[in-house]
Structures are given as structure tokens and as C-alpha cells.
Structure 1
Amino acid sequence: MTHKKKSSTKVSSILKKISIGLWIISIICILTLLYFIYDTNVVPIKYLIPLTVIFILFMTVHGFFVINKKTRVWFLILIDILAFVFAGTQVFACVKINDTLSFLRKNLGAKYETNIYNVVVNVESKYESIQDLQGSSVLVVQDMDDMTKVVQSLEDKADVEIEYSEDVVESLLAVSNDLDMVILVNSGNYDAMISTDEDYSSKVKVLDTIEIVTEVVVEDSGVNVAKEPFVLYLSGIDTRSNALPSKSLSDVNIILAVNPKTKNILMIHIPRDYYVQIHGTTGLKDKLTHAGAIGGVNLSMSTIEDLLEIEIPYYLRVNFNSVVNLVDAIGGINIYSDVDYSFTCWTDRSCSFNPGYNNVDGQCALAFARERHAYETGDRHRGENQEQVISLIINKITSSTTLINKYTDILNALNGTFETNLTTDDITSLVKMQLDDMRSWNISTVNVDGTGAMSPTHSYPNQNLYVMNPDQESIEVAIKRLNEILETPDE
């Protein structure tokens, strides 16, 4: 009998120590989770106060039963099991919150810009690598923001003689006809030439690329995105790598006007070939897509501000990998083809669409968003497709099941594939606002229109390129709708 009593006392003592240990671990987990929750500033006060009270109450009750000598063993075991499960849930939540904060701080508030430059030679040139340029002459096109750094980087790779040219187009055309010529040009202008002349890429080759990364200072827009209407420029650039060159053709140009008070979002698609006056220039107009190649996202934004008579404080630049990775991460989307015939995408022959709904992966979602040859209205229809893909992605991501089940996949898919000047505070305040009222968003679209024509441009004054002359009436309609969305109702 005495032996059994001693054994029972020993078991109780061990259990008590385990319980105290679990209680301490539980306290640490709760305090850590509360710190993360308060630090993110995402949870609204109406949820935060009850949540804090529940956590503190659990710690107190747990501690009371652990310390109380009259607590029955079976009840103490039950409490310990609950505490263990609770602590595991809290650790999981802390990891997810930390992953989210790391993702936001890494990808938001664009801290750096990357300028990419191509060393271009004739396709039949004797040069096979950058080392082959030793002692050769290189023509540097003076369209660079980092001239000294770029030239120094080139000279570090090969001992070359530097010459300069101010004519981008003439230099690009010359190297396609000269076997001995070597030029160094911004990748945006190189891509623009390829989009202008489909055969150009078969006439030249890129011998090497030089990347110059520069730190940038993001200015505070002064907009409270959770309370005030704002405008965001969505720019889709034609690149499959994870790199986001600061100067690049913008093949997708969509304006999103967001009113957090009325929960309205207006999307305006502007065709890439829209014939507009590039901000800061006079004389010949140019394709809107060329603005990105000439002066980057800021020039594109300024040009659209002039066109639509609005201020655009925010931008989001995405590359093609963004779409492919994100759609795959959320398990595909159901695209609706509104034409009464089947077609195969011109940009990806492996992707075909039938009339009605088509469940597609990221690769074919991208092909659908880029398709224009299958439609009579060409780029106009492509813009509608792009808006449909964006809406489908937003709707699927914001569904609770997708967000819970695919959360980590979504973060991994987006990591490093976009650039924005929205800050972490901007995003967390939007999330907090959404959690606070849980109202649904109304997404509408309006597109500017025009007529196709052949015309010289500011970038290519000696060539007739396909452009779309803006329809002023459609622009005025878009401006009117913008002003309506951006109006703040009286409190």
C-alpha cells in the first residue's frame, strides 16, 4: 500500500512538472502571438480586444489548475492536452504571420530598381563571348541613367575602346547589318526594336547583359488607402525571367480606381499601341508601350495622368511569371470565352479555347490574356480578356477556402515577380479595413477605344508603325467614370 502511494505521488509530481512546463510554454506562445498580431496592425480593435481577453483568460485558468493541488489528475491531463494543441496552433500562426511580414517587407515599397543593358552584335559576327571583344570598339548608346557604372562594368569584363552615340534606332539598325559592330544598349530599347521588327531578333544576338541595381527612395504619397480613394497603375511587362528591368515595354496597361468607402473598383484598359503624347515631349506622339522603354514606369504613369487628367500615386509592375505562378498556385481559373468559335492562342500553340467556360492553368491563362489575333477587335478584346483574368484571380484569392488552403503557395508564387511602391502599411491597413467590415467589392470596367492606323512615332520617326488613334469620346467617358468612382460620399 505504501509502495503504491509513493508511486502515485511520484507520478503526480512528474505530471505537475510537465504541466508547469506546458503552462510556461503556453504563456510564451501566447505573448509571442500577441506581439505579432499587434505588430502587424491588421486585426481590427473589435476583434483584437476580445482575442486578447481570451488569451489572458486561458493563461490564468490554465495556471490556476496547474498550481491548485486539488486539481484531479485526469482533469490536469485534459487541460495539458488542450494547452499543447493551443500552443501548437499559436506557433503555426506565428510562423505564418512572420512569413507574411517577411514577404511584404521584401516585396513592397520598391527599394531598388534594376537597369539591364545588352551587349549586341550581328548574328553572324565572329564574337561568341564577351571575352572575344578584347581590343574591339564598342558603341555605347547614350540612353542610360547609369552611364559611368555601365561602362565601368563592361571594361571590367573586357579591355575595349568606348565610342558613343545618341541615336538609339540608328545604332540598333546598324548592328543588324554590320558584322564587326558591337553596341551596348538599354534592354528596353532593344525589346522595343524587336516588337517593331519581328525579324530583328534573327539578325542579331545578345553577347552579354549588364545589370545595374540602384537604391531608390519611395516618397510617401500621403494617401490613406483604407479611407481615401486612390488610383493604381498596373503594368504588365513582357519578360519571363524573375528580373524586372526598370525600363521595359509595358504590354498591359490597366488603371484601377479604388474607393474603400464605397467598395468600388473601376478597371480601365488602355491599349498598348495607344497613340499618345509622351509626357515631357513635343512633336510626334508615340505608342503608350514605348513610354516604359524610354523612361520606365514613372514616365508611363505621367503619360497616362496627362491622358486621363488624374493623379496616379501608386503602381504595380508584374512580369509574365506573376500570372503563370499565381494561377497555378490557386489551382487554375475558369475562363469564359465569349466568341462562338474555338481558337488556338497565337502566343502559345499548346493552349486552345472553346466557346463558354474553360478551366485553365497559369500558362494558358497568360496565353488567353495575351491573345488578340483570334478576335476581330484585336487589342480591344485582349484588354477585356486581361480584365477577366484579373477579376477571376482576385475573386478566387479572396475566397476563404483558397486563402486558407493555398496561402503559402500564393506567397511563394508572387515572391520576386512584382514591383510596387505600395508600402507594408498600405497593404496591412487595407486588410484591416476589409476584416473590419467584410463587405464585398464591386468591380466594374470601362475601356478607352480608338481606330488603327500606320504612323511615325517619337521613338521611330522614320518608320510607319501600327498605332491606335484615341477616340476622344471614349476617353471622356472613362474620365467621367473615374471621377464618379473617386468621389467620397458625405459622412
Structure 2
Amino acid sequence: MSRYRKSLRFSKKGKKIRLFNATLLILVSAVSGLLVFSLLKNNVLAFRGLNLIIAFALGVVVLLSSFFIWKNTFRIFTAALLLVTLLLSSGAMYGVKSLMDLSSGVQSTSNYSEFELGVYVRSDSQVSDIKQVQALLAPTENGDRDNITALLEHIKESKKTDIALSNTSSYIAAYNALVHQETEAIVLNSTFEDMIASHDADYASKIKKIYSYKITRQVETGKRSDSTNADVFNIYVSGIDTYGSISSVSRSDVNIIMTVNRKTKKVLLTTTPRDAYVAIADGGGGQMDKLTHAGIYGVDASVHTLENLYGIRIDYYVRLNFTSFLKLVDLLGGIDVENDQEFTSAHGNYHFPVGTVHLDSQQALGFVRERYSLEGGDNDRGKNQEKVIEAVIQKLTSTSALKHYNEIISGLQDSVQTNLELPTLMNLVNTQLESGGSYQVASQAIAGNGRMDLPSYAMPDSSLYMMEIQPESLDSAKAAIQNVMEGK
């Protein structure tokens, strides 16, 4: 009788272990299936067949465990195998999910831009409500007509108020009219505020906002449907240095076209100085102005302006807010760049000798902002910005970045906006890993001559520094881009 009870006890224990293993098998199958699907869909670890090897190994574990459970043998071994597989696959899935969340986060605002328009009166004005305003002054002929019209329609619908609108030549002209008491109220696009600040550093204390309206507009770039697995494509990298949401429209201080050829493993970074005098697309109406002003009409205006200038198609864009992006430098333990001329930065008063310099986040910000103490001015600043961006990317794709994985993911979401899909990004990383980091990166910048007598479409009342592009420099840059795209 004791043997029977003992046998019955072992039988019940065996059934429990078998049931436990069957439950584990279901969990492992679900997590492994989701992991394999995510790896293959997003091209994660798609180099040297690693993602396929992982898929095969997980498949073997599931089939072998199913066989052992069916035969009711190797119960302890099966439980251990399934537990280890569940832990590993769950950890891997967490990592892939974090990548997917990052991609979703930086792409979440990629298809729209935000404009904020406000109604302003003098700071000492008794007017405090939009219903008290009888007339507004605004520049309706400089590419901002649609936004101003949308503001007036919103006021009419939400406040049941009709306001007369008078035109002026620019936002600076409107500001001058307001502070000189020539008008009671003006419309001001927040994107133009730093232009007014350059005209009057004390402007904020002289006016007050009584009404604001945020406008969202679709971003329309020529991204092609077949570019996910394309071997050759162009990425526009826009560097801004402002506060607020990354989706907010802003002038672009950095304008780099990254031409990538995955077959030849070549990358060409082409810098167009912010002051380059070019025809501004979209809201700029094809009128001539400095390139940085294209950004005030949205990132797609910058993309289309550069497409027209170089005669290429730009497939993707990346906007970096340097103020927040460079905070990642400290998490990465700093970066090293090669400095080819000695200078001291206005930001932070940092001294940078010739040679390899190690930068923390504040030093990096001073390094990318400085232009006045550089021999080549804005051209040399563009080269320094390229160096810092490249150094940060190299650190982000290194194994040392894994220590601060969560912080880096969070930081990137706050400082980067892009329409670059995760599979395409993973293709670049996979090529880098497979080639052992042998991408050849070259840089170029178009040159020109500085002038102060060229008219600005966005700021017609101001005398601004412009860089008139040298035709031979532009032709040389175009040829270099084509050579990389054609694999030469």
C-alpha cells in the first residue's frame, strides 16, 4: 500500500511538472513568435543571418520541448530549458520593444509641423481681451498669409469677433508700428521672435500677448515607398537650437545632406551654410533669402529648397535640437573630435586647441555654436557641427551606450524628430556591424562670398548678411553627391 501511495504521489508530481512545462511552452512560443516577427519586420540584427539564426534556435527549442512534453520525458531538463529561453527571449523582446518605442516616439510628430501665432499689444496697453481689439497689423505677403488667415478664422468662430486686418511688409515692421503706437495690436508668428530679438534685444518687455493659437500643418516630403531597403538615399539633417517641442517650426542653423551608399559603404556629408542665398520653396514662394529662413515655413520647405538647389531627391529628414541632443554627450562619457583650428567659444568661453579634443555636453554646445572666431565663419562652424554629430552617432552605436540605454532612449525622443523608419535605420546599423565599422565618411561645404546688400523675402526691412554661392563650388558639390550615389 505504501508503494502504491508513493507511486501515486510521483505520478501526481509528474503531471504537475508536465502541466507546468506545457504552460511554459505556451509562454515561450508566444514571446518567441513575437520576438522573431519583430526582428524580421524591423531588420533588427539582420547581418550575417543573425536574426535567422535566432529564429531557428528558438524554433528548435519550441519543437524539442514539445516533443519532450508529449513523450513525458526529461521533465526537469525541459523546465530548465524553457525557463532560460523565456528569460532570454523576454529580455531580447524588451530591447526590441524599446527600439520600436523610440522609433515611434521620434516619428510621432514627423508628419506635421506646429506654428504658434499670437496677438500682441503694447505692454502698457489697457487691452487684455481679444474682443477689445478692433484692428490688427500683420505681414500677409511674405508667405505667412495662410497662417494669419487661419488665426482670424479661429477668432471669428471661437470668440464671435470680426477683426479688420491691415498688411505691412514684415513682422519687424509690424513690431515697430506697435511700439511707436501706430497700431493697437499686431499678429506675431513665434518663429519670427528671434528675428525681432536681433532687431531689439529688449522687445519682450515692450509687448504682451493677449491671445494665441497653435496651427498644425501636414509635412509633405518626397519620401519614396521603396526606400526602406534602398542602397542609396539622401537624408536632410537639420540642426535647431531652441526651446519647446521638437515639432515646433524654427529656423535651421545646421543644414546637412547625408548621402548614403550602402553598397560602397560611403557617406557624404554636404553642408550648406545657413546664410546661403537661395530660392526658398513652399511658403517662400521661390523668392531669394538666406537658407535658415526656409525653416520658418516648415521642415518640408527646407527639404524642397535643398532638393531644388542640388537637383536631387531627399528621402528622409532628421531634426536635431542641439540644446537637448548634446545632453546625451555626458551619458556617453563625452566625445572626441579632431579640431583643425584653435579658437575660444563665446558660449562658455571654452578654449579648443588644435588636435583631438574631448568634449562634455556644454563644451560640445560651445564647439557647435561658435562661428565668429573661426577663419571660415559659418562654413567652419558647419564642419564642426558635422564632427560632433558624427562623434555622437558613433558613441550611440557602440556597446558602451548600453549602460545608459533607458536614459538615451528618453533623451533621443525629446531631441530628435524624423521620418526615418526603424527598418531603414536598422539597415544602416546592420551594414555598419557587418562591415566592422568601415563606412567611409567624407565632408564638403559649399563656399560663397558675403554680402550685405541682398534683399530678404522674410525680412525685407533689414540689412542682413548673406552668402552668395560660388557657382563652381555648387557644381563641385553636386558632382560629389552624384558620384557617391552612382557608386563612383
Indicate whether 1:178 and 2:181 are aligned.
yes
Give the letter for the 2:417 counterpart.
Answer: E
Give 1:316 shift.
Answer: 2.1
Give 1:234 shift.
Answer: 1.5
Give the letter for the 1:221 counterpart.
Answer: R
Indicate whether 1:139 and 2:137 are aligned.
yes
> 1:110-125 to 2 correspondence within 5 Å?
110-125=110-125
Identity, in percent, stands at 29
Equivalent residues of 1:126, 1:179 under 8 A apart: no
Equivalent residues of 1:108, 1:424 under 8 A apart: no
* Structure 1: 5+ residue stretches without partners: none
Q: Name the counterpart of 2:306.
A: 304
Q: Name the counterpart of 2:84.
A: 85
Equivalent residues of 2:111, 2:220 under 8 A apart: yes
Equivalent residues of 2:456, 2:462 under 8 A apart: no
User: 418-427 or 57-66, which moves further after superposition?
Assistant: 418-427
Between the aligned partners of 2:125 and 2:246, the Cα distance in structure 1 is 28
Give 1:387 shift.
Answer: 0.9
Equivalent residue for 2:196, pick from 167, 170, 193: 193
Give 1:437 shift.
Answer: 5.6
SS in 2 for 1:224: coil
Give the letter for the 2:102 counterpart.
Answer: F
Indicate whether 1:449 and 2:447 are aligned.
yes
> 1:91-170 to 2 correspondence within 5 Å?
91-108=90-107, 110-126=110-126, 131=129, 134-142=132-140, 143-154=144-155, 156=158, 161-169=163-171, 170=173
Equivalent residues of 2:113, 2:299 under 8 A apart: no
Indicate whether 1:417 and 2:406 are aligned.
no
SS in 2 for 1:163: strand
Give 1:386 shift.
Answer: 0.3
SS in 2 for 1:145: helix
Q: Name the counterpart of 1:476.
A: 475
Alignment CA distance shift 1:135-1:125 (3 Å)? closer
Give 1:211 shift.
Answer: 0.9
Give 1:447 shift.
Answer: 1.4
Q: Name the counterpart of 1:334.
A: 336
Indicate whether 1:488 and 2:487 are aligned.
yes
Between the aligned partners of 2:13 and 2:240, the Cα distance in structure 1 is 67
Q: Name the counterpart of 2:262.
A: 260
* Structure 2: 5+ residue stretches without partners: none
Between the aligned partners of 1:243 and 1:370, the Cα distance in structure 2 is 19
Give 1:93 shift.
Answer: 2.1
Between the aligned partners of 1:326 and 1:10, the Cα distance in structure 2 is 56
SS in 1 for 2:273: coil
Between the aligned partners of 1:456 and 1:261, the Cα distance in structure 2 is 43
TM-score, scaled to structure 1:
0.84
Q: Name the counterpart of 2:237.
A: 234
> 1:364-379 to 2 correspondence within 5 Å?
364-379=363-378
Alignment CA distance shift 1:36-1:302 (3 Å)? closer
Question: How many aligned positions are there?
Answer: 476
User: 378-387 or 458-467, which moves further after superposition?
Assistant: 458-467
Alignment CA distance shift 1:303-1:214 (3 Å)? closer
SS in 1 for 2:257: strand
User: 211-220 or 407-416, which moves further after superposition?
Assistant: 211-220
Equivalent residues of 1:116, 1:210 under 8 A apart: yes
Indicate whether 1:272 and 2:271 are aligned.
no
Give the letter for the 1:381 counterpart.
Answer: D
Give 1:263 shift.
Answer: 1.1
- For residues 415-453 of structure 1, the C-alpha deviation after alignment (integer angstroms, 9 at most, x for no partner) is 153333434554355455556666631111111222333
Q: Name the counterpart of 1:353.
A: 351
User: 318-327 or 475-484, which moves further after superposition?
Assistant: 318-327
Equivalent residues of 2:18, 2:72 under 8 A apart: no
Equivalent residues of 2:236, 2:317 under 8 A apart: yes
Equivalent residues of 1:334, 1:360 under 8 A apart: yes
Q: Name the counterpart of 2:23.
A: 21
Give the letter for the 1:117 counterpart.
Answer: L
SS in 1 for 2:145: coil
Between the aligned partners of 2:90 and 2:287, the Cα distance in structure 1 is 61
Equivalent residues of 1:122, 1:180 under 8 A apart: no
TM-score, scaled to structure 2:
0.84
Q: Name the counterpart of 1:47.
A: 50
Alignment CA distance shift 1:412-1:13 (3 Å)? same
Give the letter for the 1:134 counterpart.
Answer: Q
Give the letter for the 1:367 counterpart.
Answer: G
Give the letter for the 1:382 counterpart.
Answer: R
SS in 1 for 2:121: strand
Between the aligned partners of 2:41 and 2:228, the Cα distance in structure 1 is 19
User: 459-468 or 279-288, which moves further after superposition?
Assistant: 279-288
Between the aligned partners of 2:183 and 2:195, the Cα distance in structure 1 is 23
Give 1:267 shift.
Answer: 0.9
Q: CA RMSD in A?
A: 3.4
Between the aligned partners of 1:211 and 1:408, the Cα distance in structure 2 is 32
Equivalent residues of 2:270, 2:443 under 8 A apart: yes
Between the aligned partners of 1:69 and 1:278, the Cα distance in structure 2 is 73
